[in-house]
Amino acid sequence: MAVYTIGDVHGCYDQLLELESMITEDAAGLPGKKLIIMLGDYVDRGPASAQVIEHLLHKPHADFQRICLTGNHDIAMLDYLEKRLSLSGWWHMGANSTLLSYGIDVERLRMIHRTPQMLDDTIRASIPHRHKQFLRSLPIMINAGSFLFAHAGIRPTLSLKDQKDDDLVSIRSEFFENAHLLRQWVVHGHTPIETPRQEGRRFNLDTGAFSTGKLSALRLWQKKGRVFTT
């Protein structure tokens, strides 16, 4: 089975459609079913987070299956919607662009509502239930034998069963500095770079789509890799 892994989308709906078109064209020449793995961070920073989630709620092309992992931005959005995080806690991560994609103008609402609680209640009620359910449903990691897929990476000094969720969506330096200890290939995003890059047994697919316009994917098929970038 050919596996296509897509890096951090961050509300870049147009780039996602363009990349999916490139993948569909490439996959047409390959036999059997294909799998798309999304590495998380569907929301914040880019202009169309709501459209990205709505798109991912629909089934992909008939020849494809899709698994969407969670990222730290998706978790922050859900934590806010479920009252585990304040609006200010999500805001600094790029919440404003996400809320605007739902037609929610927070600055305007602040002039209407007298209390922060009223503001929060209005915002939370404005997000479609199916989008909240999508965020709740996202797994945090895929372990596929010689390959592991996670939003940010893993802590190489720990076994898989001892990994912490926070590391899987947020780790950076301890993953990079100890990558020589990896026993599996780890395909990840989370840390923006100019072009998709393999270093040892890790492969970073986050090309900063929200600021560069470049959304990237990696195809794995018959022990060979191919990179696609919008």
CATH code assigned at 95: 3.60.21.10
**Secondary structure (DSSP) of 95-141:** HHHHHHHTT--HHHHHHH-SSHHHHHHHHHHHS-HHHHHHHHH--SE
For 65, the enclosing helix (H) or strand (E) is strand 64-68
Assess whether pLDDT exceeds 90 at residue 61: no
Tally of domains within the chain: 1
Output the average pLDDT for the chain.
97
How far does Cα 114 stand from its chain's mean position?
35
Assess whether pLDDT exceeds 90 at residue 89: yes
Residues 154 and 160 sit within 8 Å (Cβ to Cβ):
yes
The length of the chain in residues reads 230
**Hey, which bits of 136-210 come out as E strands?**
141-144, 147-150, 185-188, 197-199, 202-204
Among 112-116, 165-169, 179-183, the minimum mean pLDDT is found in 112-116
Assess whether pLDDT exceeds 90 at residue 21: yes
Question: Which of 145 and 56 is assigned the larger pLDDT?
Answer: 56
Nearest Cα residue to 172 out of 199, 153, 186, 185:
153
The domain in which residue 140 lies consists of 2-229
Return d(Cα 193, Cα 176) in angstroms, integer. Answer: 13
pLDDT in tens, 24-36: 999 998 999 999 9
